[in-house]
Amino acid sequence: MYKNWLKYIFTAYIFSLFFRLLLFVVAYNNPDFLFNNHIIALWTADAGLYGHYAKDLLHGVYHPLNNETFLSYVIFWIVKYTHIDLESVIFFLPAFFASLIVIPIFLIFAFIKLEKLGFWSAIISSIAMNYYFRTHLGYTDTDILNFFLFFMIIASFIGTVETKKIFWSIPGALSMLFFLYWYHSARPLVFALLGFYVLYLLLFDRKNNVAYLAFFIYSTAFFPISVLLKIGFIAIVPFIFYYLLKNIKISYKIFLALFIIAALASTYFAIRFHIYNRALDYLIKKDVYILKEKSGKKIAIAATLKTVAESKGITLNQLFTYSSGSSIFFCLGSLGLLLLIFHFRTMFFLLLPYLLALLSIKTGVRFTTFGVPVIIMGNLYIFWYFYKKLENRFFSKYVYYVPATFLLIYYLNILNQYNHMLSPFFIKGELKAIAQHLNKNDKGYILTWWDYGWPLWYYTNKRTLIDNGKYQYDTYIVAKTLFSYDQNFIQRFDQYFIKQYDKVYPGVILPKVIKKIPLNELITKLYNNELNLSEKQKKYNIYYYFDDKILTKLPVIESFSYLKGEKKRGFIWITKLRAYSPSKGIIIGDNVRINLKNGILYTPKGKDEIGNFYVIDGKHILNILNYRKNDLAIIIYKNKYIIGCYKYINSFFFRAFFFNDLDKTLFKTVHFDKDAKIFQLIGK
């Protein structure tokens, strides 16, 4: 039996690996995706963090082994002992790790003797929708193992309860232990899994002594003992329990009583140590962060989590799309999942990932990934159910295999389309500029939006003020810089905060500064040049890095440049350019139409008069139309975007990014072309 299982798993793994490697062919044939004769490694910002730490480790810099650096150590070990170059390891690693999802998906069905159904579920789930979107080549993030570990725990639960063999608890307990060390947000997920385990036993299987003892093995992951002792406990104790169950008859009531006590203790532990705080952050997102000044006065800064793409709440249609590809497959899969649970009670555990997928409406698109395998399982089970009902008919096999094959081809087609939409975080031109100007030996800081933080850590030797893991209070500093007008103030403002930040790196600086001097007083003094910024300090350079990715974030960045309750000067919007006909004098975007002849902007809210109109190719200004004295400016950028700004055309970002028009006594243009813009603060 187990030999056949291995054959199914191996075949499914090779299938997943093969189709994941197709992105290599697409990337290799795109010159913009190649740099220094390698495919560019980072295709997600998070890969920059793990690559950065791995690079440090390879250069002898010590980092503690924890859930922030574990993946970096894995990369480091692979590079060190295989001598494969770092870039290749970062790029290819997701294919090998993410394909492991086929193991638990297959086992879940194998435990209920539906191996073929498990095989089909495994191969389709491994390349489908948001699971693929978050684990493709170059997407070197903890997600390449998170979902494997999560479903491995579920498979262990089902195996233990279904077979009544205590040894099936071992892979689940080890997965829990590894999960906690691998992923910084694993604790609430593991507790949710244990909660479902408790609920299942109390509702459906109160006389299962094996399952009760397995709970104690699973709980080992939380014991306050060393990792080696935990592993030893998980490896040895099941044999002791097996001996007890085989030779000593103990009433299930005793086990039930002990189990309830342990479950209550676990609940107390979860509450006492705030295990679910991370989950609550996603469910109940803050609107503001409150800071206290020295006087006790409170200031409110816009909170970031609501603006992070993967944690913003999504629509119902987005839930359908990311988890299954369509509302039809989602509804059919949901129905099939309920049918599966009705026929096989142990499939109750699959409700948890399904519920997590539903919660993505509040918690963000990332959580739809939990639903991908279970929706596919539900779809396939419906096909299988009708196949079994019609088993004696000559066409019965077609009832299962035709729709199952269609589902596979459907998701492979989406995979192929998605591959051609993907791009590395930095493309060749951007990397060339970064390597040439931001990877010198000088110590320095790069001011840009937090999305660029970790990738810049990897590709440069510079620090950033905010990054992909630290984007709370100090986002105000960067946003204030980008949307201020007075370049003398900006120079002093940046010098002051970088100087203060250099003393507390890598902490946060704004809360510390306002404990010494009220924010409004500080800003006033910097405007009036009343602070001495020339005292002795460490030498460092301050750079600004921008590329086209920042454009779609401008409305968000602008909102962060104000304290809550502070009156805004203007507004910014950006939309895709859909049609541009200078000869006809018409420009069309999403919900936007511009009459070039009269300089009138039409939107669903009405019409506005345009003051100035610019056409820019990323480096040069191709055309300027001055209609009237009006603070509303429209920019057509690279024939891709329409950008509207009211009263911001003279802000630091707009003068730098679009016009390369900064005060040359304060800022030096280091690099300015269609790919990237780099500036350096030089002072007077």
* Count of beta carbons in the 10 Å neighbourhood of residue 534: 8
Bridge-based pairing of strands 621-626 and 632-637 is: unpaired
Question: Which of the four CATH numbers 3.40.1380.40, 3.40.50.720, 3.40.50.2020, 3.30.70.1290 does domain 428-549 have?
Answer: 3.40.1380.40
Q: What is the reported pTM?
A: 0.92
Bridge-based pairing of strands 632-637 and 463-464 is: unpaired
* Count of beta carbons in the 10 Å neighbourhood of residue 505: 11
Name the phi and psi angles at 565, rounded to 5.
95, -15
Q: How far is 681 from 366, CA to CA, in rounded Å?
A: 38
What are 679's strand-pairing partners? Answer: 544, 669
Domain residue extents for the chain: 428-549, 565-681
Secondary structure of 520-573 in the HEC alphabet?
Answer: HHHHHHHHCCCCCCCCCCCCCEEEEEEEHHHHHHHHHHHHHCCECCCCCCCEEE
Q: How far is 635 from 356, CA to CA, in rounded Å?
A: 42
- Amino acid in the structure at residue 551: L
Q: Quick check: 159 and 217 in contact, CB under 8 A?
A: no
Q: Quick check: 190 and 180 in contact, CB under 8 A?
A: yes
Q: In 197-213, which positions are buried (b, 16+ CB within 10 angstroms) versus exposed (e)? A: bbebbeeebeebbbbbb
Phi-psi region of 87 (alpha: psi -120 to 50; beta: other; left: phi over 0): alpha
Bridge-based pairing of strands 288-292 and 298-302 is: antiparallel
Low-confidence ranges of the chain (pLDDT < 50): none
Q: How far is 101 from 104, CA to CA, in rounded Å?
A: 6
By C-alpha distance, which of 141, 145, 153, 139 is closest to 68? 141
- 623-669 pLDDT, tens digit each: 999 999 999 999 999 999 999 999 999 999 999 999 999 999 999 99
Q: How far is 70 from 72, CA to CA, in rounded Å?
A: 5
What stretch of H or E contains 578?
strand 571-581
pLDDT of 312 reads 73
pLDDT of 136 reads 97
Q: How far is 525 from 530, CA to CA, in rounded Å?
A: 5
Name the phi and psi angles at 449, rounded to 5.
-75, 160
Rg (CA), the chain: 28
pLDDT of 206 reads 81
Q: How far is 324 from 357, CA to CA, in rounded Å?
A: 11
Preceding omega of 224 cis (within 30 degrees of 0): no
**DSSP of 409-429, one letter per residue?**
HHHHHHHHHHHTT---SS-HH
Please report, for residues 40, 92, 182, 413, the alpha-carbon distance to residue 418 in angstroms, rounded to integers and kept in the order given. Answer: 18, 17, 28, 9
Q: How many CA atoms does the CB half-sphere of 218 hold within 13 Å?
A: 30
- Give residue for tokens 């010494």: 516
**DSSP of 368-400, one letter per residue?**
GGGHHHHHHHHHHHHHHHHHHHTTTSTTHHHHH
Q: Quick check: 283 and 305 in contact, CB under 8 A?
A: no
* Count of beta carbons in the 10 Å neighbourhood of residue 553: 16
- Amino acid in the structure at residue 93: L
By C-alpha distance, which of 556, 570, 547, 571 is closest to 637? 547
- Give residue for tokens 């946060």: 508
Please report, for residues 102, 130, 156, 190, 249, the alpha-carbon distance to residue 221 in angstroms, rounded to integers and kept in the order given. Answer: 24, 29, 15, 10, 28
Q: How far is 44 from 282, CA to CA, in rounded Å?
A: 21
What stretch of H or E contains 302?
strand 298-302
